[in-house]
Amino acid sequence: MNIFRLIGDMSHLLAIVLLLLKMWKTRSCAGISGKSQILFALVFATRYLDLFTAFISAYNSTMKLFFISTSLVTVYLMYFKFRATYDANHDTFRLEFLVVPVGGLAFLVNHNFSPLEILWTFSIYLESVAILPQLFMMSKTGEAETITSHYLFALGSYRALYILNWVFRYYFEGFFDLIAVVAGCVQTILYCDFFYLYITKVLKGKKLSLPA
């Protein structure tokens, strides 16, 4: 554990809490892509199966349980409790276009051809693109609520901080995981356009609206 990873994890935690608070306080999930949230639930469910096979630390297990359970709660809130506020008309990204290629790639490019390892790899690849339905939805509506942009900024920062963590671990621990690093870089790059808008608009007190 180093400082970059700790801040990265906290940023990830903050993102999830922000999203749940936004939905709970406004009793609405308007502007949030249910498809991205389904993908995140799938990411956690496939990655953290090692909860049952390996114990790393209390921190590790607690965080894994938190991520799995909150992602399921988020999907429940969107598709059941606050379904009436879900903006399905704008959430039209086709999930099979992500899940199928990512599944194929996980079979072909992995560290070890075993069920748990393939699921872990699938989860890493899927996470790198899971935000696309959300970004697609925002590009269709042309805007995002400020709280939603805070959520996305925290969520994007988490993987960017993990990159710093991997640089640190490479130099000081000799640790290097090519799959995680490449996928993490792809994931972070996808947020760059959003980061630019966030810094130039939201941090200056303006609402996030996309250039027409």
Partner 1 sequence: RGDKDSKDEL
Stretch near partner 1 under the rule CB under 8 A, chosen from 33-41, 70-78, 173-181, 204-212: 173-181
**Which of 50, 81, 103, 140 is close enough to bind partner 1 by CB under 8 A?**
50
- Residue 176 tokens read as 């290097």
Neighbouring C-beta atoms of residue 6, cutoff 10 Å: 13
Stretch near partner 1 under the rule CB under 8 A, chosen from 81-89, 145-153, 177-185, 192-200: 177-185
3-state secondary structure string across 117-159: HHHHHHHHHHHHHCCHHHHHHHHHHCEECHHHHHHHHHHHHHH
Stretch near partner 1 under the rule CB under 8 A, chosen from 63-71, 73-81, 100-108, 197-205: 63-71
**Which of 4, 40, 120, 198 is close enough to bind partner 1 by CB under 8 A?**
120
**Which of 4, 67, 191, 198 is close enough to bind partner 1 by CB under 8 A?**
67
The answer to whether 31 and 145 have CB atoms below 8 angstroms apart is yes
177 binds partner 1 (CB under 8 A): yes
**Which of 17, 20, 63, 105 is close enough to bind partner 1 by CB under 8 A?**
63
Please name the residues in contact with 181: beta carbons below 8 A apart, sequence gap of 6 or more. 163, 166
